[in-house]
Homo-oligomer: A and B are copies of this chain.
Amino acid sequence: MIVVMKAGSPETEVVRLTEEFETWGLTPEKIIGKHKVVIGLVGDTVALDPLQIQETSPWIEEVLRVEKPYKRVSREYRHGESSDVIVPTPNGSVKFGEHHPLVVVAGPCSVESEEMIVETAQRVKAAGATFLRGGAFKPRTSPYAFQGHGESALGLLAKAREATGLGIITELMDAADLDALAEVADVIQIGARNMQNFSLLKKVGAQDKPILLKRGMSATVEEWLMAAEYILAAGNPNVILCERGIRTFDSKYTRNTLDLATIPVLRALTHLPIMIDPSHGTGKSEYVPAMSMAAIAAGTDSLMIEVHPNPKKALSDGPQSLTPERFDQLMQEMSVIGKAVGRWIDESELAIA
């Protein structure tokens, strides 16, 4: 931590501060510049809050953190190695991580009926997806919009899992639903709007199911990693980070701005696996193929793609859903890029699994 003093700070104040920092167990080191004095704080500073340090004197101009504020999610914490999230499913273990083939998660925005979800599951499985997505509880901007079928939809997801052997990812909005949801879900999703719902993060950190943590729509990469740190700090090491588009000044042609540079950025900062959601990231099905291919080329570990048997009749997010036919075709297109970068599962392997 670097404490920058204002120009003209009295020497007595610098001395007083230095002594105060020493009582905190830190070793302060002074640099006397041309105009300003700078104090470096050596010691265990992870738990320190720059805003708090700033308050120790009105003569402090700025406090700069030179260490990262997160620990367990950082790549250094694993000495530069990536971590895998390995999820048992009826069809075998699915491995999310830098050294594994791309994992494709597909399915509708929300679970609408048994027929619809089972059919979708069969179609996306046949195309090569290994995970099914589908919302039982839906966060909707309007209280008058379809809110998901709730617990009954969980039962339908269980049937789709049984019928296809696919793993299930579904969103948790309320801690009260955690037990029921964890019975069905192989991976629990925390949505963008709840990325800083710290109570919920602590609760999913205190249970065993892996967590898919979506980036908040205006969360910085650092805030996102800190949200993951909440989960790891509570005891759950299995977190996948999912970029789904951020909010910017332009939303005329795309719903969000898909920030694909997070792929190399996260790779450098954290050991956790990465997922990209081009469906929410663009909001329009016609842009999903180009962004899916781009994400693979940039090195993503997994993709989440919305597929609906009849997007025209979807109860939510229709415009960003692919038809099963378009998804079949996209899997072919993606395989070309996936093979080129060595991240596509061998089809013979698939057959065996």
On A, residues with C-beta under 8 Å from B are: 2, 4, 7, 29, 31-36, 38, 40, 42-47, 49, 51-52, 54-57, 61-62, 64, 66-67, 69-70, 76, 139-147, 173-176, 193-194, 196-199, 202, 217-218, 220-223, 226, 229-230, 233-234, 246-254, 257-261, 263-265, 268-269, 281-282, 286-287, 289-291, 293-299, 311-319, 336-337, 339-341
Contacts and interface: CB of A to CB of B under 8 A. Distances in A.
A261 B265 contact: no
Given A55-B314, A193-B197, 14 more contacts: A33-B67, A47-B145, A51-B319, A54-B319, A57-B312, A139-B198, A173-B199, A174-B175, A221-B252, A247-B249, A260-B291, A290-B298, A294-B297, A339-B340
Nearest to A144: B47
B263 A260 contact: no
A211 to B, nearest CB: 14
A290 B264 contact: yes
A43 B52 contact: no
16 contacts: A2-B64, A33-B67, A54-B318, A55-B314, A193-B197, A218-B218, A253-B265, A254-B265, A260-B294, A261-B287, A261-B291, A263-B294, A293-B298, A294-B298, A337-B340, A340-B340
A64 to B, nearest CB: 5
A77 to B, nearest CB: 12
Nearest to A69: B142
* Stoichiometry, copies per complex: 4
Contact of A44 (B34, B62, B199, B234): B34
B261 A257 contact: yes
A38 B248 contact: no
A320 to B, nearest CB: 8
A38 B36 contact: no
Contacts of A199: 173-174, 176
Contacts of A194: 197
A43 B19 CA distance: 27
Contact of A286 (B223, B268, B291): B268
Contacts of A286: 264, 268
Nearest to A138: B198
B42 A31 contact: yes
B35 A40 contact: no
A341 B176 CA distance: 48
B29 A31 contact: yes
A273 to B, nearest CB: 16
Contacts of A246: 248-250, 257
A268 B69 CA distance: 30
Nearest to A283: B51
A197 B175 CA distance: 11
B311 A291 contact: no
Nearest to A140: B198
A138 to B, nearest CB: 9
A57 to B, nearest CB: 7
Contact of A248 (B176, B257, B289): B257
A105 B275 CA distance: 31
Contacts of A315: 52
B249 A218 contact: yes
